[in-house]
Chain A
Amino acid sequence: GAGVSQSPRYKVAKRGQDVALRCDPISGHVSLFWYQQALGQGPEFLTYFQNEAQLDKSGLPSDRFFAERPEGSVSTLKIQRTQQEDSAVYLCASSSSRGEYGYTFGSGTRLTVV
Chain B
Amino acid sequence: GQNIDQPTEMTATEGAIVQINCTYQTSGFNGLFWYQQHAGEAPTFLSYNVLDGLEEKGRFSSFLSRSKGYSYLLLKELQMKDSASYLCAVRDPDYKLSFGAGTTVTVRA
Contacts and interface: CB of A to CB of B under 8 A. Distances in A.
Interface string B56-90: 00000000000000000000000000000001010
Given A48-B95, A105-B44, 12 more contacts: A41-B101, A42-B100, A42-B101, A44-B99, A56-B94, A91-B43, A99-B91, A99-B95, A99-B97, A102-B33, A105-B43, A107-B40
A52 B94 CA distance: 17
Interface in A82-114: 91, 98-100, 102-108, 110
A40 B97 CA distance: 18
The 7 closest A-B pairs by CB, nearest first: A42-B99, A99-B95, A105-B42, A98-B95, A107-B42, A105-B43, A42-B101
Given A42-B87, A42-B89, A99-B91, A106 B99 contact: no
What DSSP secondary structure best describes chain B's contact surface? Answer: strand
Most buried by A among B41, B89, B96: B96
Contacts of B87: 42-43
A15 B105 CA distance: 35
A56 B97 CA distance: 13
A21 interface: no
Contacts of B4: 42
A31 interface: yes
Contacts of A103: 33, 45, 97
Contacts of B89: 42
